[in-house]
């Protein structure tokens, strides 16, 4: 789809790639510089593949291969999300020729900043999914009985919901959010995996849930079957770490690769929780 | 799992447990009473441009509740301000500002909201100490007076305000007021815009950009009012101040006689100085020992 710019004569011979590396959770991160031969139409994933094939840094020293995560390679799974030239995005859809237009000197690859690093560019996004659990981001159907055909949806509702349903849980909105701060716990000796997971969840559940979950709560509250849990979702949004954690910096909507109207969802959540809280106060 | 989660709810701090209500109250207090109060305050001060009488009359109106005034002051201004500031500091400190990494307009506004909040807090402390004094105890006020603070006397409103701006080198306080007031205006107007999202008043991007325009107009108007108030207080010669004082002293007797304000010598400027006719003026001579200052 994107034609090569044949007029561009300033094509470099090599590409410098600076990678922020970390050997294990909790270890000190460090920078390493790699140099690969220029090829047209690379994306950042293919750059990382070239680095793996090269297996040495710019000084010719053998180094452990850089670890990264990827899945679909078409910007719908979100697993290859990282910070590229200081901005969070998917590495599969980050085209090197475009990146070099902005910064011809080097590519800078860093792991996401709000999640604990597992190794190099791989992070643990458990908290993101815990956020979806907190707001019950699902339709309550157990398919035990045949419930017949679903309620008809107005076209306007469909059009409101479709963009929100495109969320791939990549975490860009969270990484760019100044209100969403990193939580990194380490398993204590003698603590079982279950105990550690429970401690993590307790910590996550007090902290800001994030734009993705607020938007999913609005999606399912607007769904004919999903709205059965609307009250519970709004309870979750007014509990610790709920919608009140938003500081209206609106970075989420600016970095969302799916262009989901996250700030619209947040404002809708603001209105819904306002009404919900007043109703609850007088219904007691 | 279930009992561990009930344990955790009892461990939650009061703040975390009531985070939603506290943050909504924080948003509300920023507008009512604090923002509203600021608009009234700045407008009142700008009225000094029209003349000493206009301003003095407005101050008399504000001071007409007499004994109830400290209650209104603390309940309607100081207590909400302390609450708003304390929660605001907590909010700002728990965030990780990143407008250098993501220099989007709204993100810069977010950062400025925090910086101006801190600046406004420091400024308001200085402002209250400089003019008001904070507490109405005599000993406290006379101690402040000795170091050039607590300068404002409501029954000599214009002249004491103008004279207070000249304390020091006549540059320091005006500079502090200019920066401080503009920080407050930004903080209020931007806070009004974000409050509209917080409470769910403007939802879609189109609605939010319309709200931005409305807030820009409000902000421009309030800036004009602020600069008027500032210039009215700052650009006065010593002769102007003496004239102001004469007018205020003339207004005082009739205001007390007409029952508009209670007689309260503490609220008058009884310093010997610019005005020559003042000490001979009657009723309050017994209180002249109050303060010789600056």
What is the CATH number that goes with domain A125-283? Answer: 1.10.1060.10
**pLDDT for res B285:** 40
Task: Give the fold, CATH level 3, of A14-119.
Answer: Ubiquitin-like (UB roll) (3.10.20)
Instruction: Report the CATH number that the domain containing residue B193 is assigned in CATH.
Output: 1.20.1300.10
How many domains are there within chain B?
A: 1
Query: Å from B89 to nearest chain A CA?
Result: 13
Measured between beta carbons, the chain A residues lying within 8 angstroms of B17 are 240
Query: Rounded to 5 degrees, what are φ and ψ at A23?
Result: -75, -30
For chain A, where do the domains classified as CATH 1.10.1060.10 start and end? 125-283
Sign of CA dihedral B60, B61, B64, B70: negative
> Do B242 and B278 form a contact (C-beta atoms < 8 A)?
no
Report which DSSP code applies to A200.
Answer: H
8 Å CB contact of B203 and A198: no
Structure tokens belonging to residue B80: 């909400």
Number of neighbours of residue A251 by Cβ within 10 angstroms: 29
In chain B, what is the greatest distance between 2 CA atoms, to the nearest angstrom?
Answer: 81
Long-range contacts (CB closer than 8 Å, 24 or more residues apart) made by B1-10: B1/A198, B4/A198, B4/A202, B5/A202, B8/A202, B8/A205
Q: How far apart are the first and last CA of chain A?
A: 59
**pLDDT for res B262:** 84
Sign of CA dihedral A5, A9, A15, A16: negative
3 state SS of A31: strand
**Three-state SS annotation for chain B:** CHHHHHHHHHHCCHHHHCHHHHHHHHHHHHHHHHHHHHHHHHHHHHHHHCCHHHHHHHHHHHHCCHHHHHHHHHHHHHHHHHHHHHHHHHHHHCCCCCCCCCCCHHHHHHHHHHHHHHHHHHHHHHHHHHHHCCCCCHHHHHHHHHCCCCCCCHHHHHHHHHHHCCCCCCCHHHHHHHHHHHHHHHHHHHHHHHHHHHCCCCCCHHHHHHHHHHHHHHHHHHHHHHHHHHHHHHCCCHHHHHHHHHHHHHHHHHHHHCCCCCCCHHHCCCCCCCCCCHHHHCCCHHHCCCCCCC
B290 falls within a domain? no
8 Å CB contact of A242 and B20: yes
Q: Which of B18, B104, B192 would you mutate first to test chain A, the one with the most A CBs within 10 A?
A: B104
Q: Residue A13 class from Cβ within 10 Å (0-12 exposed, 13-18 middle, 19+ buried)?
A: exposed
B241-285 confidence digits (pLDDT tens):
999 999 999 999 888 888 888 888 888 887 654 443 444 444 444
CB-defined contacts A:B, below 8 A:
107
* Chain A (235-254) residues lying within 8 Å, Cβ to Cβ, of chain B: 238-251, 254
8 Å CB contact of A242 and B4: no
B259 falls within a domain? yes
Measured between beta carbons, the chain A residues lying within 8 angstroms of B10 are none
* Mean pLDDT, each 10-residue run in order, chain B (294 residues): 44 88 97 97 97 95 91 95 97 95 97 98 96 85 88 93 90 96 98 97 96 98 98 94 94 88 83 45 41 42
Measured between beta carbons, the chain A residues lying within 8 angstroms of B204 are 261, 264, 267
Nearest alpha carbon to residue A247 among B110, B162, B168: B110
Query: Å from A267 to nearest chain B CA?
Result: 5
Q: What angle do CA B96, B88, B75 make, to 5 degrees?
A: 180
The beta-carbon neighbor of A268 closest among B1, B111, B203 is: B203
Number of neighbours of residue B13 by Cβ within 10 angstroms: 10
Residue A271 touches chain B, beta carbons under 8 Å: yes
d(CA A279, CA A275): 6
d(CA B213, CA B208): 9
**pLDDT for res B2:** 40
CA within 13 Å, CB half, B144? 21
Q: Spell out, as residue ranges, where chain A has pLDDT lower than 70.
A: 1-10
Peptide bond into B33 cis (omega under 30): yes
Structure tokens belonging to residue A106: 């080097």
B125 falls within a domain? yes
> Do A50 and A15 form a contact (C-beta atoms < 8 A)?
no
Measured between beta carbons, the chain B residues lying within 8 angstroms of A268 are 200, 203
Q: How many residues does chain B have?
A: 294
Place of tokens 């909040």: B117
Report which DSSP code applies to A95.
Answer: B
Structure tokens belonging to residue B120: 């406004």
Contacts of A121 by beta carbon, 8 Å cutoff, 6+ apart: A19, A20, A48, A66, A67, A68, A69, A82, A109, A110, A111
Q: What angle do CA A164, A168, A174 make, to 5 degrees?
A: 90
Measured between beta carbons, the chain A residues lying within 8 angstroms of B189 are none
8 Å CB contact of A206 and B16: yes
ipTM of the complex: 0.92
Report which DSSP code applies to A85.
Answer: T
Structure tokens belonging to residue B124: 């308001």
Contacts of B103 by beta carbon, 8 Å cutoff, 6+ apart: none
Q: Which of B30, B96, B192 would you mutate first to test chain A, the one with the most A CBs within 10 A?
A: B96
Show the domain range for B237: 15-268
B281 falls within a domain? no
pTM of the model: 0.90
Distances from the Cα of A103 to the Cαs of A97, A137, B181, in angstroms? 10, 39, 41
Strand positions, DSSP E, chain A: 14-21, 30-37, 81-84, 87-90, 106-110, 117-119, 122-123
d(CA A248, CA B123): 25
Residue A266 touches chain B, beta carbons under 8 Å: yes
Measured between beta carbons, the chain A residues lying within 8 angstroms of B94 are 179, 181
d(CA A204, CA A208): 8
């Amino acid at each position: 789809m994107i034609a090569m710019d044949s007029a561009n004569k300033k094509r470099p011979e090599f590409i410098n790639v600076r990678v922020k590396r970390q050997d294990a959770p909790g270890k000190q991160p460090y920078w390493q510089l790699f140099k690969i031969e220029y090829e047209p139409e690379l994306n950042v994933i293919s750059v990382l593949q070239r680095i793996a094939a090269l297996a040495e840094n710019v000084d010719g020293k053998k180094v452990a291969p850089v670890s990264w995560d990827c899945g679909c390679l078409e910007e719908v799974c979100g697993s290859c999300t990282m910070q590229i030239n200081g901005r969070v995005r998917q590495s599969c859809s980050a085209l090197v020729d475009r990146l070099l237009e902005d910064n011809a000197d080097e590519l800078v690859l860093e792991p996401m900043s709000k999640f604990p690093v597992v190794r190099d560019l791989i992070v643990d996004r458990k908290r993101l999914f815990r956020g979806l659990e907190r707001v019950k981001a699902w339709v309550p159907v157990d398919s035990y009985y045949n419930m017949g055909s679903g309620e008809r949806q107005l076209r306007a509702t469909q059009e409101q919901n479709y963009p929100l349903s495109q969320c791939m849980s990549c975490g860009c909105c969270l990484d760019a959010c100044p209100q969403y701060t990193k939580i990194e716990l380490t398993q204590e000796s003698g603590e079982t995996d279950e105990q550690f997971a429970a401690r993590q969840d307790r910590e996550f559940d007090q902290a800001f849930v994030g734009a993705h979950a607020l938007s999913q709560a609005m999606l399912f509250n607007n769904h004919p079957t999903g709205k059965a849990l609307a009250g519970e979702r709004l309870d979750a949004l007014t509990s610790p770490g709920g919608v009140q954690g938003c500081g209206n910096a609106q970075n989420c909507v600016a970095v969302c690769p799916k262009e989901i109207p996250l700030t619209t969802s947040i404002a809708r959540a603001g209105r819904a929780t306002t009404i919900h809280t007043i109703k609850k106060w007088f219904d007691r | 799992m279930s009992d561990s989660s009930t344990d955790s709810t009892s461990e939650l701090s009061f703040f975390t447990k009531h985070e939603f209500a506290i943050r909504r109250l924080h948003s509300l207090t920023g507008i009512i009473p604090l923002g509203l109060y600021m608009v009234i305050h700045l407008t009142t001060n700008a009225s000094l441009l029209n003349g000493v009488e206009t301003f003095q009359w407005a101050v008399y109106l504000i001071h007409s509740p007499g004994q109830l005034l400290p209650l209104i002051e603390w309940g309607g201004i100081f207590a909400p301000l302390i609450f708003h500031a304390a929660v605001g500091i907590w909010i700002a400190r728990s965030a990780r500002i990143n407008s250098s990494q993501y220099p989007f307009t709204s993100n810069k506004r977010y950062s400025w909201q925090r910086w101006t909040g801190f600046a406004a807090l420091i400024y308001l402390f200085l402002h209250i100490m400089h003019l008001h004094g904070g507490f109405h105890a005599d000993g406290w006020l006379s101690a402040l007076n000795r170091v050039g603070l607590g300068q404002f006397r409501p029954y000599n409103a214009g002249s004491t305000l103008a004279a207070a701006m000249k304390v020091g080198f006549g540059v320091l306080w005006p500079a502090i007021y200019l920066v401080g007031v503009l920080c407050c205006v930004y903080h209020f107007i931007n806070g009004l815009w974000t409050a509209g999202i917080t409470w769910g008043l403007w939802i879609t991007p189109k609605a939010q950009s319309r709200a931005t325009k409305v807030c820009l107009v409000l902000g421009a108007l309030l800036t004009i009012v602020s600069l008027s108030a500032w210039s009215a207080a700052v650009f006065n010669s010593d002769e102007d101040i003496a004239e102001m004082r004469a007018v205020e002293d003339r207004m005082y007797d009739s205001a007390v006689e007409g029952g508009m304000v209670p007689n309260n010598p503490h609220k008058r400027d009884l310093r010997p100085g610019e005005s020559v006719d003042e000490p001979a003026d009657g009723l309050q001579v017994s209180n002249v020992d109050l303060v010789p200052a600056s």
